[in-house]
Structure 1
């Protein structure tokens, strides 16, 4: 007679298997999720502290590294497009890095031209100036170190069972609230506390392995990849509202949660098919004969047992980092610089932001004319709204712009481009529409809270 309580996973929960699940998972949580106070007294996480150490250590060399990465990526992409050399097309990794279509090839060529002008400070000044190409080069020197450190440490957060364990425990909360699997809770925490781009890479990796459907991946990347607490503090200081930072951050949290509840339920995200990129038999459904905690523990231990060797973790980290470096960086340089040129040297955003003047006036936000461009330029980069709003006198308006820019989160200079070039089913127009939805939903919520505070 069969005994229904028996499960093959039960035999694997030994002291050794439990430690294989617990120790790496706790290490991953410590690196990505535990807030600490750094040497300057600012909030940070260990991932941020390690990254900033390497940024300071290699600061003099990073612009040269970025320039070389973009040149190598572009040259090999051009060679591959026109000549299809066997050493690239026969290699899975090299083929994925350099075998691209004509559109992205053109973007990479633009990125190479821009980086050469910026690095050597020559050519068209609008391209290499401090507010365009110079800004992007500075951003990428920081970004490449974030990705270097995160790529090699991320396996400890995704390969050793903590996402399976947490997903099973939190499924009944996360699923009805956000229409997402419970394991996305780790995405939420890693992004919210740490770095928005790390959250997107984490989601991309999970989608590529069949843990999320296309709809779930886009919903998580565009709603759960929140701006980190340290960056929020930087924006608050720029706009001189840091003396009310706890209230500002509470506003961001409230607004972000409301957006994450609504946006996955409406188009365009609701119309993205719930299909997996690859087949995966992982499930968060608890068998009738199991307690939730026991099943969660079995799922975590089972995943840790399949995590592979230390060498395999290093290989995975290396592949993620190389993919991001040679694919993302040239395209971010091109798209980001073009977007900043439009924002800085043309009246485009002043013109298209005119309808926002009436919306801000309806919401009784002072200096609506001056604030209007800052409500839409967040699609280009998170810093631009803060830069545009620094001259505004009304503190309530600076508070409003600070909160709005930090809730919009979809910006072309980094995060949106990373999503576009990933295999997640979201293109430029999808992300633009989600950005508009986040803006429309967020504005009245932030305005109400701002009027209560001020």
Structure 2
């Protein structure tokens, strides 16, 4: 006799657990002229709780991580190598070992205020330490709440219901819609971490996870408003955000069908195998099947699993990812801020935008490429631009490019998804080149 997973206990887990996860990640809460999420409130609460001690906490973490990683690389101690959590945090490759050491040097300089200005500047090292403080608070709050969104059944439920639309349009499971909503209302780096965890558990293939990370991890609505205000077009925000949404969807449809995303192996994480079951059996209705697999998923949800899953994310992100984010992000921002590299390489982009009639194209060109390093720098570079339409075009572009090394790029590279720095840059350029004529068309229609 086939086991029936739909019972009162599993239904309560599914409904109450999922409701908590949705409330934390997906429900928009009014905040001034915009809105945010409860997860963002929790992040801000943790930041205020740590206060001025947060940089020193990060200093201890990053320097300690570098020391233990060097020790592990040289001595290979069993107490690290044979511990699941410690090995994820401190056993690594030479590239990431060097990155952790650089991260430790940068944060020591910034926190202690000793070092060259190009490292200590608010535009470079100080910016990355601040960003890492935010990421630290997100990870602390996010890690132990994430299972309520991923393991209580809501992703299975929505996955079955939305599969007929999402699968043919984007070539991903229906559950990917949750990643998209988590990013739109919350934070893009949180959505990338969510996608990585779903891949590690066998719910996405390598291709699907890589695609979702590089196409669905849009920045939050409050940040879009901040960019619009920074470039001086806050009065155009409804058209500005509508353009972001429309162009973002068109890009997602196109990018799914071209290399390098199309060439990523469509295989599941080797240890986890395929855990996805969204195809509805012929003998069952879509709602009944959605409820059945949701309750089956919720059946295995318990406090021990939440703690274990949360601890794994915390160890990997705090001791492994944050030092690398500081190192790579600082190097990228130093290049963008203190060298003429982006002015040199952006000349072809000036020609390309001029082809579509964009005013002040060459002055705005560096802003079209510098977004690869950080998502806020393009808005800052537009201060010298006087043409409102050009500000609109480049402002929208900076928010649909998605792949920012300081925010999501490093997380993607550090995951097991086969997307290296070069492939990310190729996807970034594909999104940039395809988006510009679409945004120009939109701007010409509505401005």
- Structure 1-normalised TM-score? 0.96
Per the alignment, residue 451 of structure 1 pairs with: 444
Per the alignment, residue 139 of structure 1 pairs with: 131
Q: Distance in 1 between matches of 2:251 and 2:315?
A: 33
Per the alignment, residue 126 of structure 1 pairs with: 118
Per the alignment, residue 434 of structure 1 pairs with: 427
Q: Distance in 2 between matches of 1:14 and 1:414?
A: 42
Q: Distance in 2 between matches of 1:251 and 1:376?
A: 20
Q: Determine whether 1:423 maps to 2:422.
A: no
Per the alignment, residue 283 of structure 1 pairs with: 277
Unaligned runs of 5+ in 2: none
Deviations 1:106-152 (A, max 9, x none): 11111111111111111222111121111111111112111211111
Displacement of 1:288: 0.8
Q: Determine whether 1:156 maps to 2:148.
A: yes
Per the alignment, residue 299 of structure 1 pairs with: 293
Displacement of 1:273: 0.9
Q: Helix, strand or coil for the counterpart of 1:413?
A: helix
Q: Determine whether 1:354 maps to 2:315.
A: no
Q: Determine whether 1:325 maps to 2:318.
A: yes
**Coordinate RMSD, CA, aligned:** 1.2
Q: Helix, strand or coil for the counterpart of 1:37?
A: strand
Deviations 1:300-340 (A, max 9, x none): 00000012x21321231122122101111110111011111
Question: Which of 368, 371, 382 pairs up with 1:375?
Answer: 368
Question: Which of 81, 104, 107 pairs up with 2:96?
Answer: 104
Displacement of 1:16: 2.3
Per the alignment, residue 364 of structure 1 pairs with: 357
Question: Which of 12, 25, 35 pairs up with 1:43?
Answer: 35
Q: Distance in 2 between matches of 1:173 and 1:453?
A: 29
Q: Distance in 2 between matches of 1:41 and 1:447?
A: 27
Per the alignment, residue 170 of structure 2 pairs with: 178
Per the alignment, residue 265 of structure 1 pairs with: 257
Per the alignment, residue 3 of structure 1 pairs with: none
Greater mean deviation of Cα atoms: 144-153 or 265-274: 144-153
Displacement of 1:281: 4.1
Question: Which of 59, 77, 80 pairs up with 2:51?
Answer: 59
Q: Helix, strand or coil for the counterpart of 1:210?
A: coil
Displacement of 1:91: 0.9
Structure 1 stretches of at least 4 aligned residues deviating more than 2 Å after TM superposition: none
Question: Which of 189, 200, 207 pairs up with 1:208?
Answer: 200
Q: Helix, strand or coil for the counterpart of 2:384?
A: coil
Per the alignment, residue 220 of structure 2 pairs with: 228
Q: Distance in 2 between matches of 1:145 and 1:368?
A: 39
- Structure 2-normalised TM-score? 0.97
Per the alignment, residue 313 of structure 1 pairs with: 306
